[in-house]
């Protein structure tokens, strides 16, 4: 396996009981890229993500993160693997009984030998990176939805993970905040250089940050397109993908104008 | 991922003075969070010892890899330098690190006024008293709203689903039978034993039947059932409604014009009001059975004799006092469960608090009400 592959999904089938969500998924994510998993609502994007981060067992197939199989790893290997990826959950999932500093500090305490003082420093830095300097002692319930999302991003980045999984990072944010969130992801990738896997159906995000993508189809229950979103928009022959990417002609026209 | 990179390599820091007013910080090795990193305190110390240092420069040519551990270190240095007015030249830092520092020191979001300042003790006492008064008012308001909802129900205008009512009845009636059976039977046993020890001194063991029958129907049956229901059903109500509050389900009801009082509280209240008398009667019967078991096996009384004494002691007054008390306790359990659930805050911890508080409130109210009943019934001569 090439060292440049961060995530590798092989012959994966995702199902809940008899209900097959997605089957025959085969793709690789190159290191350092922002990779979009897109598709309509209910096509299984989030379920696929849950399989990739080890929460939902697949029916068949495997997922390799940095060359380690998520579902064949033993307990010790999984522990080690957990240190190398971060997850931003759809509804932020910040621990409500802890302050933001404690939320970001907990993974640091779990996986590093930093002193309490240093952990506070690093947690403060992570919060500053997402624009939440000074909010260390706030509880999640005291923040707006957009700020909770950013705090959750800070927690996901606590350990400078090689792979960052973002589940619908901009859902529920206004267009300006959501654009700022996209810019933030680009800036962080620029300076930290990790791989980012984003599950989303927001066209604006897909075109702004996506280097590469897969399109999951809700009807055939498998992936039907693969490639850079802008290239896909220009070249795809699938009516489903075309309809998705040009939803509302205005969006498409605006995109072409921007170049 | 370089899971394989050697663990012994850590970040190191060396300080030297290329010019009298300049401190050079040379950083070498691996500057990563999962390694032990030097503390920026050494720089701080050097700065306070040698006051002539006006400038800090970084040299990172000997550094292998870095992550935000380095950035946190530099930020600390920046902070203590800006306090002293020392100039920091960031040119020597890796390009990406410089970008992250710029991002982290960018103008932060305006702080919201959400932080609570610690209070002096007298203010805390005052606030707690006000909160206690507020809590009593809240309960009164809730009781009033529940009464109005009940009135709407009587006039057939309440907005709730009969299926919900059936579900709650199933949950707090039949599903509670096993635990009520066990506890009531044991209470009967205990009453019989206690009574027997005392009555034996007078040779009046046969009156154990009277004692068990009166104590069970009048006091213990309804009290034990109410306490079981407070722990079992009241807690469940608070947790259900509290979780609905967290998920904004209650807000959704309100915005759709469905009063949560009708839709959520009423079925729970009605279910307990319907089930508590039945559970109380069931509990009475089981307690008498438990007492009889002891009477027949341990005390050697005859079955006919025991039954005869029981029927002689049991009057309709005792029976109805127990049933009425049980029903009132049921109302208290339902109200405290629903009230605490509806008042719950919007976090997991708040739902836990609401559940605890529901059980405590219910038990306190039950005991207070038991006292009121004792006084009133005594005055009325029942």
Higher-confidence position of A171 and B186: B186
Residue of B nearest to A158 (CA): B68
Instruction: Report yes or no: B177 and B278 within 8 Å, Cβ to Cβ.
Output: no
Q: Inter-chain contact A128–B33, Cβ cutoff 8 Å?
A: no
Residue of B nearest to A123 (CA): B72
Cβ-Cβ contacts under 8 Å, A160 against chain B = 32-33, 67-69
Q: Inter-chain contact A125–B71, Cβ cutoff 8 Å?
A: yes
Residue A19's DSSP bridge partners are A16
Residue B19's DSSP bridge partners are B22
The minimum CA-CA distance between B346 and chain A, rounded to whole Å, is 7
Instruction: Report yes or no: B163 and B267 within 8 Å, Cβ to Cβ.
Output: no
Determine how many CB atoms are found less than 10 A away from the CB of residue B7: 9
Q: State how far the alpha carbon of B153 is from the alpha carbons of B141, B254, B263, in Å.
A: 18, 18, 11
B154 pLDDT tier (thresholds 50, 70, 90): very high
Give me the pLDDT at residue B347, please: 84
Residue of B nearest to A4 (CA): B1
Give me the pLDDT at residue B8, please: 54
Rounded distance between C-alpha atoms, residue A53 and residue B126, angstroms:
50
Q: Inter-chain contact A139–B115, Cβ cutoff 8 Å?
A: no
Instruction: Report yes or no: B42 and B15 within 8 Å, Cβ to Cβ.
Output: yes
Cβ-Cβ contacts under 8 Å, B73 against chain A = 121
Give me the pLDDT at residue B159, please: 82
Determine how many CB atoms are found less than 10 A away from the CB of residue A258: 8
Instruction: Report yes or no: B342 and B250 within 8 Å, Cβ to Cβ.
Output: yes
Structure tokens at B187: 């209470």
Cβ-Cβ contacts under 8 Å, B114 against chain A = 138, 142-143
Structure tokens at A39: 């598709």
Cβ-Cβ contacts under 8 Å, A78 against chain B = none
DSSP assignment of A182-232: HHHHHHHHHHH--EEEEE---HHHHHHH-SEEEEE-TTTSSEEEES-HHHH
Residue A60's DSSP bridge partners are A13
B5 pLDDT tier (thresholds 50, 70, 90): very low
Residue B332 has pLDDT above 90, yes or no: yes
Nearest Cβ partner for B72 among A66, A122, A138? A122
Nearest Cβ partner for B33 among A117, A135, A159? A159
Query: For B250-265, how does the pLDDT look when each residue is reduced to its tens digit (9 = 90+)?
Result: 888 887 778 899 999 9
Structure tokens at A67: 């060359």
Nearest Cβ partner for B99 among A142, A143, A190? A190
Nearest Cβ partner for A111 among B34, B106, B346? B34
Residue A199's DSSP bridge partners are A37, A167
Q: What is the dihedral of CA B329, B334, B337, B339, to 10 degrees?
A: -110
Least confident range of B117-126, B131-140, B216-225, B281-290:
B117-126
Least confident range of B21-30, B42-51, B66-75, B332-341:
B42-51
Residue B7 has pLDDT above 70, yes or no: no
Residue of B nearest to A195 (CA): B1
Nearest Cβ partner for A97 among B76, B103, B347? B347
The minimum CA-CA distance between B118 and chain A, rounded to whole Å, is 13
Determine how many CB atoms are found less than 10 A away from the CB of residue B178: 9
How far from each other are the two terminal CA atoms of chain B, in whole angstroms? 81
Residue B342 has pLDDT above 90, yes or no: yes
Structure tokens at B76: 């600390």
* B16 three-state secondary structure: strand
Q: Inter-chain contact B347–A114, Cβ cutoff 8 Å?
A: no
Q: Provide, for chain B, the percentages of residues in helix, strand and coil under a 3-state DSSP scheme, each rounded to the nearest 5.
A: 70, 10, 20
Q: Inter-chain contact A66–B1, Cβ cutoff 8 Å?
A: yes
Nearest Cβ partner for B114 among A66, A132, A138? A138
Instruction: Report yes or no: A225 and A241 within 8 Å, Cβ to Cβ.
Output: yes
Q: Inter-chain contact A187–B32, Cβ cutoff 8 Å?
A: no
* B246 three-state secondary structure: helix
Residue written as token pair 């971060």: A86
Rounded distance between C-alpha atoms, residue B278 and residue B325, angstroms:
12
Residue B190 has pLDDT above 90, yes or no: yes
Rounded distance between C-alpha atoms, residue B87 and residue B101, angstroms:
16
Give me the pLDDT at residue B112, please: 66
Which H or E element spans position B266?
Answer: helix B266-297
> A-B interface: how many C-beta pairs under 8 angstroms?
106
DSSP A236: -
Structure tokens at A151: 């705090």
Q: Inter-chain contact A80–B3, Cβ cutoff 8 Å?
A: yes
* B50 three-state secondary structure: coil
Q: Are strands A68-69 and A60-65 parallel, antiparallel or unpaired?
A: antiparallel
Residue of B nearest to A134 (CA): B111
Structure tokens at B109: 């979001």
Q: Are strands B22-31 and A85-88 parallel, antiparallel or unpaired?
A: unpaired
Instruction: Report yes or no: A10 and A26 within 8 Å, Cβ to Cβ.
Output: yes
Cβ-Cβ contacts under 8 Å, A1 against chain B = none
Closest listed residue to residue B87, CA positions, set B44, B23, B1: B23
Residue B304 has pLDDT above 50, yes or no: yes
Give me the pLDDT at residue A255, please: 54
Determine how many CB atoms are found less than 10 A away from the CB of residue B109: 17
Residue of B nearest to A2 (CA): B1
Q: Inter-chain contact B33–A160, Cβ cutoff 8 Å?
A: yes
Average pLDDT over all residues of chain B:
88
The minimum CA-CA distance between A141 and chain B, rounded to whole Å, is 7
Structure tokens at B199: 């009555």
Residue written as token pair 């007078």: B202
Q: Kindly provide the ipTM of the predicted complex, given to two decimals.
A: 0.70
Structure tokens at A13: 């089938």
Nearest Cβ partner for B349 among A96, A118, A192? A96
Cβ-Cβ contacts under 8 Å, B37 against chain A = 114, 118
The B-side interface with A (CB below 8 A) comprises: 1, 3, 32-37, 39, 67-69, 71-73, 75-76, 96-97, 99-100, 103-106, 108-109, 111-112, 114-115, 345-350
Residues of chain A with pLDDT under 50: 1-2, 250-252, 259
Length of chain B: 382
* A139 three-state secondary structure: coil
Structure tokens at A70: 């998520």
Residue of A nearest to B350 (CA): A97
DSSP assignment of A27-64: EEEETT-EEEEE-STTSSHHHHHHHHTTSS--SEEEEE
Rounded distance between C-alpha atoms, residue A174 and residue A190, angstroms:
24
Among A83, A104, A160, most B C-beta atoms within 10 A, so best to mutate, is A160
Q: State how far the alpha carbon of A243 is from the alpha carbons of A38, A233, A247, A255, B109, in Å.
A: 13, 10, 6, 15, 38
Give me the pLDDT at residue B35, please: 78
Rounded distance between C-alpha atoms, residue A117 and residue B40, angstroms:
11
B116 pLDDT tier (thresholds 50, 70, 90): low
Structure tokens at B312: 């002689």
B108 pLDDT tier (thresholds 50, 70, 90): low
Residue B71 has pLDDT above 50, yes or no: yes
Q: Inter-chain contact B34–A83, Cβ cutoff 8 Å?
A: yes
Q: Inter-chain contact A135–B348, Cβ cutoff 8 Å?
A: no
Q: Are strands B12-19 and B22-31 parallel, antiparallel or unpaired?
A: antiparallel
Q: Inter-chain contact B104–A132, Cβ cutoff 8 Å?
A: no
Query: For A142-159, how does the pLDDT look when each residue is reduced to its tens digit (9 = 90+)?
Result: 888 889 999 999 999 998
Rounded distance between C-alpha atoms, residue A150 and residue A129, angstroms:
9
Give me the pLDDT at residue A138, please: 92
The minimum CA-CA distance between B184 and chain A, rounded to whole Å, is 39
Q: State how far the alpha carbon of B210 is from the alpha carbons of B186, B292, B320, in Å.
A: 17, 11, 17
Closest listed residue to residue A41, CA positions, set A107, A90, A86: A90
Residue written as token pair 């209240």: B269
pTM attached to this predicted model: 0.72
Nearest Cβ partner for A112 among B34, B39, B349? B34
Rounded distance between C-alpha atoms, residue B168 and residue B281, angstroms:
20
Average pLDDT rounded to a whole number, residues B171-177:
94
Residue of B nearest to A99 (CA): B115
- Phi then psi for B68, rounded to 5 degrees? -70, -10
Structure tokens at A169: 């990072």
Q: Inter-chain contact A142–B114, Cβ cutoff 8 Å?
A: yes
Instruction: Report yes or no: B71 and B102 within 8 Å, Cβ to Cβ.
Output: no
The minimum CA-CA distance between A77 and chain B, rounded to whole Å, is 11
Q: Inter-chain contact B67–A131, Cβ cutoff 8 Å?
A: no
Give me the pLDDT at residue A175, please: 87
Residue written as token pair 């509050």: B245
Residue A210 CB contacts under 8 Å (≥ 6 apart), including other chains? A34, A35, A36, A198, A228, A229, A230
The minimum CA-CA distance between B238 and chain A, rounded to whole Å, is 19
Give me the pLDDT at residue B301, please: 87
């Amino acid at each position: 396996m090439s060292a440049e592959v961060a995530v590798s999904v092989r012959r994966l089938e995702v199902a809940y009981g008899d209900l097959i969500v997605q089957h025959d998924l085969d793709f690789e994510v190159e290191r350092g890229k922002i990779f979009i998993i897109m598709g309509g609502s209910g096509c299984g994007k989030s379920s696929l993500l849950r399989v990739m981060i080890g929460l939902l067992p697949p029916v068949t197939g495997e997922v390799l993160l940095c060359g380690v199989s998520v579902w064949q790893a033993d307990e010790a290997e999984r522990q080690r693997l957990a240190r190398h990826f971060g997850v931003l959950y759809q509804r932020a999932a910040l621990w409500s009984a802890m302050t933001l500093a404690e939320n970001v500090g907990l993974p640091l305490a779990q996986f590093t030998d930093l002193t309490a003082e240093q952990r506070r420093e690093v947690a403060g830095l992570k919060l500053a990176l997402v624009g939440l300097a000074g909010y260390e002692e706030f509880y999640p319930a005291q923040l707006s939805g957009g700020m909770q999302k950013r705090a959750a991003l800070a927690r996901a980045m606590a350990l400078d993970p090689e792979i960052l999984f973002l589940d619908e990072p901009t859902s529920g944010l206004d267009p300006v905040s959501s654009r700022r969130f996209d810019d933030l992801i680009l800036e962080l990738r620029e300076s930290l250089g990790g791989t980012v896997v984003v599950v989303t159906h927001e066209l604006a995000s897909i075109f702004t940050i996506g280097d590469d993508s897969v399109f999951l189809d809700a009807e055939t229950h498998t992936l039907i397109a693969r490639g850079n979103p802008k290239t896909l928009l220009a070249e795809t022959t699938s009516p489903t993908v075309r309809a998705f990417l040009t939803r509302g002609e205005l969006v498409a026209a605006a995109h072409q104008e921007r170049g | 991922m370089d899971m394989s990179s050697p663990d012994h390599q850590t970040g190191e820091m060396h300080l030297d003075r290329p010019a009298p007013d300049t401190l050079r910080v040379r950083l070498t090795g691996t500057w990563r969070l999962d390694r032990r990193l030097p503390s920026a305190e050494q720089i701080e110390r050097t700065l306070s010892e040698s006051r002539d240092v006006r400038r800090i420069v970084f040299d990172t040519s000997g550094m292998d890899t870095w992550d935000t551990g380095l950035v946190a270190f530099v930020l600390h240095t920046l902070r203590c330098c800006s306090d002293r007015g020392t100039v920091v030249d960031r040119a020597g830092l890796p390009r990406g690190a410089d970008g992250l520092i710029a991002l982290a020191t960018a103008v932060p979001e305006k702080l919201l006024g959400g932080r609570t300042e610690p209070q002096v003790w007298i203010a805390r006492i005052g606030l707690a008293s006000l909160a206690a008064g507020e809590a009593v008012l809240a309960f009164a308001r809730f009781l009033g709203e529940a009464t109005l909802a009940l009135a709407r129900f009587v006039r057939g205008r309440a907005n709730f689903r009969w299926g919900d009512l059936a579900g709650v009845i199933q949950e707090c009636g039949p599903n509670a039978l096993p635990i009520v059976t066990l506890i009531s039977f044991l209470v009967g046993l205990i009453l019989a034993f206690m009574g027997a020890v005392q009555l034996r001194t007078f040779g009046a063991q046969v009156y154990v039947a009277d004692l068990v029958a009166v104590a069970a129907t009048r006091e213990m049956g309804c009290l034990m059932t109410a306490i079981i229901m407070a722990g079992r059903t009241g807690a469940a109500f608070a947790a259900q409604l509290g979780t609905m509050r967290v998920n904004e389900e209650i807000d959704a009801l309100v915005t759709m014009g469905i009063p949560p009082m009708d839709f959520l509280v009423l079925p729970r209240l009605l279910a307990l009001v319907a089930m508590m008398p039945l559970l109380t009667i069931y509990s009475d019967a089981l307690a008498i059975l438990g007492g009889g078991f002891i009477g027949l096996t341990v005390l050697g009384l005859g079955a006919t004799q025991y039954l005869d004494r029981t029927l002689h002691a049991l009057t309709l007054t005792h029976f109805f006092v127990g049933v009425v008390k049980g029903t009132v306790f049921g109302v208290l359990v339902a109200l405290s469960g629903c009230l605490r659930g509806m008042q719950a805050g919007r976090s997991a911890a708040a739902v836990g608090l609401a559940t605890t508080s529901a059980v405590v409130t219910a038990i306190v109210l039950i005991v207070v009400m038991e006292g009121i009943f004792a006084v009133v019934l005594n005055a009325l001569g029942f």
